[in-house]
Amino acid sequence: MSDRLKIVMAQLNFLVGDIGGNAQTIIAAIREAKEKHHADLIIFPELALSGYPPEDLLYRPDLHERIKNVLPSILASSLGINVILGLPWKEANQYYNQAVVISSGKIAYRYNKQKLPNYSVFDEKRYFTPGDSPCVVDIHGVKVGIAICEDLWFPEPIAALKQAGAELIVSINASPFAKGKINKRVEVIAQRAIETRVPIIYVNMVGAQDQLVFDGGSMILDDKGNVLLYINNFNKKLEMSEFKLKKRIFCIAGDHPFSKTSDVSLIYQALVLGVRDYLQKNHFSRALIGLSGGIDSALTLAIAVDALGKNNVEAIMMPSRYTTTLSLKEAEAQAKLLGVQYQVLPIEPIYQVFLKTLSPMFTNKPIDTTEENLQARCRGTLLMAISNKTRALVLATSNKSEMAVGYSTLYGDMVGGFCVLKDVFKTLVYQLARWRNEQSPAIPQAVIDRPPSAELAENQKDEDSLPPYPMLDAILEKYIERDESIESIVQAGFDRELVLKISKMVDRNEYKRQQSAPGVRITEHAFGKDRRYPITSGF
């Protein structure tokens, strides 16, 4: 018997509901762990077999039938290696978020997750029954304690594993990305290792599922909380490590340090992965973007090209009577710079027809935002027609600041199958654009430098209707991200009338946001499952 336990961490990408496909991914990884790495143990993420989160698919009997049907193949492939695998399990009309330990081709142990998150995007108490006891298993003479994701964020389950004799703790996870979370995650896991004086293996899922992005970041920490091995975020990988049986310490080959990375870099990578997986997992191969010559569509185009490749992205410029020469010039320049297919479709003839058709209804009524929004809706109609004809998914370009205050047109610039910047404030849009250009030229500098404008009226600027974006985003950060009261925001130094105006705009436009396309979640207060506000409300 070897004096070392060879362990493979499987940081992989799974598709919710694709039980057969996920099983094949698991079997292929088991085979590689055995044949290439000669491993004793392979560890998969939380709910790897079903993907995370399966949501109401858990209520379908056929989901559980499929799980039972593929398990024999997984068990057969695991002969000669131990496997820790996450899956949902139904028993006696109860559902469990479960980790199974497979040994000698059989399920030797089952552990049910104890701490079920029920906040933010998580609804686990809706579905699962919590476990009530620790699980410590013997693998090659090492007492291995099993934890699942949220268990690790509380001291009690991990202390119970220590009490039960665990010499090594394995935590399987489906922990989604959010700004600032990666550093916090490392700190929490390190604290658990220090509290118990037990090394921890943390294996996280990678990939995107609807609005969620799972960043991976699987790691090994020693019993002092030091990170010995860290798998790069947003990458699929099988990573090998060795645990010395006699000394009960890890032997790590190569240099795998954890270093803090800027939020801007991580957010950009999350947006790219979110776009790539959303399109590919929903069977779209191409993306379509209305390119306006402004910063939001320019950043969306750069992200799409990085996610899908230039040959799979098409940009459409749809000028109106108010579109400036600068917009036309810079949109074309960026399309050439990134090498995407580019078309110009003027909307003026369509706009004129709409105005003529509506003129009997608009008689004696002054020109207002109706005529502005009509231009955006002309563009939205064209984009959706091209999408229908070419099977390219339209990427909406609204940012979080606009979505918050309703500075976007329902059925106009909000149309699309996916909204890349939905959780990105305008000030962050500029930071991301600058960061992307530092990697290689992608966005013309003139687009970054110009004052933002919807170009729906003569000489229009966003600041005609909104405060400067740094001020707007600071207020929105407090009101949306931190749920601060009006009084609290005013006491922080903001004008009361302005705060009241912005808060009313946010509350009044809930009906718009709930009709918007899903988008990549990069904060813990994204528009979507993080924020479940009533549309009809007197608050």
Q: Is the pTM of this model over 0.75?
A: yes
| pLDDT of 275 strictly over 90 | yes
Which residues are annotated as catalytic? Answer: 46, 113, 149
> In terms of Cα–Cα distance, which of 284, 386, 307 is closest to 344?
386
Share of the chain above pLDDT 90, in %: 90
| pLDDT of 384 strictly over 60 | yes
> In terms of Cα–Cα distance, which of 293, 334, 296 is closest to 313?
334
User: Would you mind telling me the total number of residues written for the chain in this entry?
Assistant: 539
User: Whole-angstrom Cα distance, residue 253 to residue 256?
Assistant: 9
Q: What is the DSSP letter of 131?
A: P
User: Whole-angstrom Cα distance, residue 323 to residue 318?
Assistant: 9
| 92-148 tens-digit pLDDT | 999 999 999 999 999 999 999 999 999 999 999 999 999 999 999 999 999 999 999
Mean pLDDT throughout 334-355? 97
User: Whole-angstrom Cα distance, residue 263 to residue 425?
Assistant: 14
> Which of the pair, 55 or 539, is modelled with greater confidence?
55
Q: Rounded to the nearest 10 degrees, what angle do helices 496-508 and 469-476 cross at? A: 70
pLDDT classification of 1: cutoffs 50, 70, 90: low
In order of start, what are the domains of the chain with their CATH numbers? 4-253 (3.60.110.10), 265-462+509-513 (3.40.50.620), 467-506 (no CATH)
Mean pLDDT of the chain: 95
User: Whole-angstrom Cα distance, residue 100 to residue 112?
Assistant: 9
pLDDT classification of 26: cutoffs 50, 70, 90: very high
Is-contact 152 131, C-beta < 8 A?
no
> In terms of Cα–Cα distance, which of 280, 271, 221, 277 is closest to 249?
221
